[in-house]
């Protein structure tokens, strides 16, 4: 298995911009930095979120996107996609949603983090790039990226490798979780399996609880 590493560390503060003729405050614009940064309980120092209801917080301290997907998006939309293009804090190389699992614990630099949930693409990605169907395409491909929660505060920087320290007893990949959320999942046992994963964020657990309840009503 190849080594996974941080190929870009990206941060940005909320700013108000005009998108499609509408004024919008967003922190989706992230720029690469070369200096080491401190990862805290809720975010990377120097980074910010405009929508604190849906972004940031303990279960979404760091957003990660896999650089392997950039070529796919470039071919699809005939335009370049660079680190930070998806609003991610960490642009990763060497692992994708097929291999990363909920509950994976990694050491990055001196910080220790845990995978908490897939990233759910929002409309601001479409607005930023001027591509209306981008969020839907992200869901359909499963090229969503994912979020990390902080286990141990520490410094991270571009070039740091990800060292796997621990994994759930019943590892469920980000790809598997995405298919269960966005696909027509009718397997009760599969939904229960996801709900019972202790490392899954409460927000996503509640989503699957509702999905299971709706399925059992039929």
The reply to whether 69 falls in a domain is: yes
- Share above pLDDT 70 across residues of the chain, in percent, rounded to a whole number: 96
- Calculate mean pLDDT across residues 28-48: 93
pLDDT at 56 over 90: no
**Angstrom distances, CA of residue 175 to CA of 102, 150, 164, 172:** 10, 22, 18, 8
**Cβ 61 vs Cβ 42: under 8 Å:** yes
Question: What average pLDDT is seen over the chain?
Answer: 93
Percentage of the chain lying above the pLDDT 90 cut: 79
Bridge partners of 154, per DSSP, are 39
Residue 20 included in any domain: yes
Look up the CATH number of the domain holding residue 138.
2.40.33.20
- Residue 99 pLDDT grade (very low, low, confident, very high; cuts 50, 70, 90): very high
DSSP letter for 160, please.
P
Instruction: Kindly state whether residue 201 falls inside one of the protein's structural domains.
Output: no
Question: Is 208 part of a structural domain of the chain?
Answer: no
Determine, yes or no, domain membership for 75: yes
Q: How far apart are alpha carbons 47 and 27 in whole angstroms?
A: 8
The burial class, CB within 10 Å (0-12 / 13-18 / 19+), for 137 is middle
Give the CA distances from residue 34 to residues 10, 44, 140, 156, in Å, rounded to whole numbers and listed in that order.
9, 14, 33, 10
Residue (of 14, 13, 7, 82) closest to 45 by Cα position: 13
Residue 161, domain extent: 5-168
For residue 129, the surrounding DSSP H or E stretch is helix 123-129
User: In this predicted model, what pLDDT tens digit does every residue of 171-208 receive, in sequence order?
Assistant: 999 999 999 999 877 789 999 999 999 999 999 999 99
Answer yes or no: is 180 within a domain. Answer: no
Q: For the chain, how many structural domains are there in total?
A: 1
Whether 149 maps to a domain, the answer reads: yes
Give the pairing type, strands 90-93 and 62-66: parallel
> What span, in angstroms and rounded, lies between the C-alpha atoms of 218 and 170?
28
pTM: 0.94
Residue 96 lies in a domain: yes
């Amino acid at each position: 298995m190849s080594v996974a590493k941080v190929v870009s560390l990206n941060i940005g503060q909320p700013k108000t911009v005009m998108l499609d003729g509408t004024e919008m405050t967003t922190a989706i614009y992230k720029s690469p930095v070369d200096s080491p940064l401190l990862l805290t309980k809720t975010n990377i120092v120097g980074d910010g979120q405009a929508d604190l209801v849906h972004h940031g917080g303990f279960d979404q301290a760091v957003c990660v996107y896999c650089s392997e997907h950039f070529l796919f998006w470039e071919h699809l939309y005939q335009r370049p996609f660079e680190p930070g293009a998806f609003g991610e804090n960490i642009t990763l190389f060497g692992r994708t949603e097929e291999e990363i699992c909920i509950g994976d614990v990694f050491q990055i630099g001196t910080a220790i983090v845990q995978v908490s949930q897939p990233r759910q693409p929002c409309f601001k990605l479409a607005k930023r790039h001027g591509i209306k169907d981008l969020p839907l395409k992200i869901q359909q491909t499963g090229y969503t990226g994912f979020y990390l929660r902080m286990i141990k505060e520490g410094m991270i920087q571009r070039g740091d490798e990800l060292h796997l320290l621990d994994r759930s007893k019943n590892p469920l990949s980000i790809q598997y979780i995405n298919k269960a959320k966005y696909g027509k999942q009718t397997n009760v046992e599969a939904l229960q399996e996801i709900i019972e994963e202790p490392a899954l964020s409460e927000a996503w657990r509640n989503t699957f609880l509702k999905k299971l309840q709706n399925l059992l009503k039929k």
